[in-house]
Structure 1
Amino acid sequence: MRDLMKELNNTIQSMNMSVRKIAKEINVSRTTISNGLDFKTGEMKFDVYEKLVHHVYKDPLKQIKMIRSFIENCSTSMNVRKALSYSQVAGEYKVMESLIKRYSEKTKDEELKKVQNDVRKYLSVYNLYNHRNMDRKRGQELLDIIYETRVSSDPECQVLLNTLLMAAEYDKQRYSAMSSYAEAAEAYIAKMDNGYVKDCLRMQYLERIAYTQLHANEVDNCRATCHEIINSELNFTVIKATAYCCLGESYIFENPLMAEKYILKAIQCLEGTSSPKGTQKYSSFKTTLAFLYIEFGFNLNNIDFEFISDGDLAYYECLYGDKQNGYRIFERLKEKGLSAFQMYYLSRIENDTMMARKSLEEFEKTGSLIYAQLPKRILITEGVL
C-alpha cells in the first residue's frame, strides 16, 4: 500500500499538480490527502483515493488498474466494505470475488482475523450477489440460495438483500413482486449513516426502481430515474450502463432508433469494465438489442447470435431465416412452457389472436405493462380489443 501511495504521489509531483488545488476540486481537505499519501494516518479512505485517482489519471484503464491495486491491498474493515460496494456498482466482479476469498480464508494473522470478523456479514451477502453478477445463478436457483443463507439485520446487509431479491424476481419476470422489496430497501437506506457505502447502495436501489417503473409503464418516471443515475458525479460504470439500457427500453415503442442509441451506449459502458462478456448484464443488454432489431426489422446483420435467447432465435428464424428451424425451436420451448414474449412471437408469426390474448394475460400477470403493448397491438389491429 505504501508503494501505491508513493506512485500516486510521484505522479502528482511529476505533473506539477497542486495538492491544495486538487483538494478544492474534489472537495476533500488538503490535510486528508497529504496525510494519506504520506501514510501519516494509516491507510487512505477508499472513497478519497478513488476521487484522487479519477482526478489525477485521465486514462480509464490506468484508473481501473490503480483502484484494483488499492482493493488488493486494503486492510481496514471500512475500506473492505467500501471496496465491496465499489466493486458491485463498477462491475469489478472478479475483484470482488478475490476480495471475498481473501477475507474468508483461515489465517493466523491476528489483525487480519479482526478485520475478517468485522466484515464477515457483508461478505456473505456480496457472495450471494456475485452468483448473479457472474451469471452463475439466477431466478429461482438464486432465490433458493438466498433463502438458505442467514443474512444479518444490519441495514447495509438488508439493503443488499432486498435489492438482490428484486433482481431475482426480475429474472423470474415477476415484476410486480419487486415493489415490496423496493419499499424495504428504501426504508433500510434511510437508516444508514450518510457516506460512500450509502451512496453506492442508493444507486443500486435506483437501478432497481428504474426497472420497476419501466415495467409499470411509468416511462416518464423511469426516464427521470435513469437520468438521475447517469448524471450522478459518482463513477459507477455498471449502474450507469444499466440506466442507459433501461432508458433505451423506455423508448422501444416510441422511438426504436433512440432505443438502439441508448442500449448501444449501455453495452459500450460495460465493455470498459473487466470481463464484461461473462456477466449477466452484458448478456441481458445484447439480448434486448437483438429483440429490438428482430421486432422492428432493422440492422439484422448487427445481431450478436452468441447472446441471443432461444425464443428470440426462433422468432428471428420464423420472420427472416429458416422458418422450419424456428418452429422446431418453438416446439422445444413449448415443452417447458412458453413465456409471455414467446407467446407473443408465435401470435405475430401466425396472426393468432387467441395466442395474443394468452400473451397479454401473462404480461399483465407478471406486471410488465410496458411489454403488454406487444400483444395489445395485434388485438387492436384485429379489432378484438
Structure 2
Amino acid sequence: MKYFPLIWAGLWRKKARTIFTMLSIVVAFLLFGLLQGINQGFNQAVQNLNVDRLYTSAKTNMTDGLPYAYAARIKGVQGVRAVSHWTYFGGYYQESKNVIPAFSTDAEALFQVYRELTIKPEYLEAMKRTRTGALVGEKLAQQYHWKIGDRVPIGTSIWTDKQGSNTWQFDIVGTFEVPSAGMPSFYFNHDYFDEAAAFGNGVVHYYIVGIDSPTNATRISKEIDAMFENSTNETRTQTESAMMQMQLKQIGDINFIANSIVGAVLFTLLFLTANTMMQSVRERTSELAVLKTFGFSDGKVLGLVLTEAFLLCLFSAALGLVLAGLVFPALKPIFGDFKMPLVVVAMGAALAMLLALVSGLPPAWRARQLNIVDALAGR
C-alpha cells in the first residue's frame, strides 16, 4: 500500500485520457453483462424446464395446428397421465405494447399437467361454470390491478370473432400462483374460443402431455408421432427443453450472437487499453528512470505499471457489471424475470484481469528493461 500514491499519480497523469479509457471499459462490460446475462439466463431457463412434460405440435409448423380429436388418442398412450392443449391467442390489454401471454386451453387438464402451478379447486370449478371465464397468474393480475369478478377486454393480433371484432371479453374467475421463473399466463376456455372464433375452428397449436416418468419420454414421443405418421396432420413430439431450444433457434443463435458482439467489443477494447498504457509509460520514461535511480528494482517498476493496468481495468469492469445488474430489472417486460447470474460476474472478473494482463504487460516489461542512462538522456 505504500506505493499506492505512485500508482494513483501515474494513473491520473492525463485525466482526460484516463476518464475516456475508463468509460470505454465501463460501456464494454455493461454490454458484456447484459448480453451474457440474457444468454446465461436463457440457458438456465432451458436447463430448469420440467422433464416430465412433452409437447406435441404439427410436424410442419406449430401455427398449422392439430385436430382437437387427437387429444383422446394421445391420452391412450401407455405412460401418459394427463393431456391438455394450448392455442396461442396473441393477446394484449388496452394497447398492443401491453402484451398478454393468453392461451385457450382445457384448464382442468392443464393444471394436472403443470403440477408446479398452485390454484384453489373452487377456481377450477368456477372456470367450468363460466363460459367466458379466465384464470390469471397472480403477478399478471397485480400488474393490471385485476380482481376476481372483473370483466376484462383482451385484444388479439391474430383472431377475430364471428362478429368481426378482435377484442374479446373475459370474466376473471380465479388466479393461480406461478413459480418465480414461470410465465404469468392468462388462460381461458377453449370451448368458448372455438365456438366464437371466425376461423381456425377444431384445431389447437400444442398438446401438452404429462408423463409418468422422464425415463419414458423417448418411447412416448415416438409412439405419439407413430400414431399420426403418414396422416394429413403429422406430429412432432419433444421434451419441454427441446421445444424451448427450437423456439430460441427460430429467433437466432443467441449464444453465437452474444459471444460475437462481446468478442468484437473486447478485442477492440484490448487495443485501446494497451495503447493507453503504452503511451502512459512512454511519456513517463524519465520518471521511471528516476525511480530506478532511487533504488527501485526492475521487478518493482514492472509491478507498479502492471498494478496500474489492473486498477484501471478491474475498477472500470466492476462498475460496468454493476450497471448491467441495475439495468436487468428494466428488461423484465421483454425477457422475463432474469437476474444477473453469478457466473457472468465471475466471467467478467476473469476477462477484466486478462485484459489488464495483456494490455499492461508489454508496457510494464518495457519499463522494466529501461536503461537509466539512455532514459535520462532521452534516447
TM class by shorter chain equals: under 0.3
Select the structure that is richer in strand.
2
Normalised TM-score (structure 2): 0.22
The higher radius of gyration belongs to: 2
**Greater helix proportion:** 1
- Higher RCO, 1 vs 2 (CA within 8 Å, ≥6 residues apart): 2
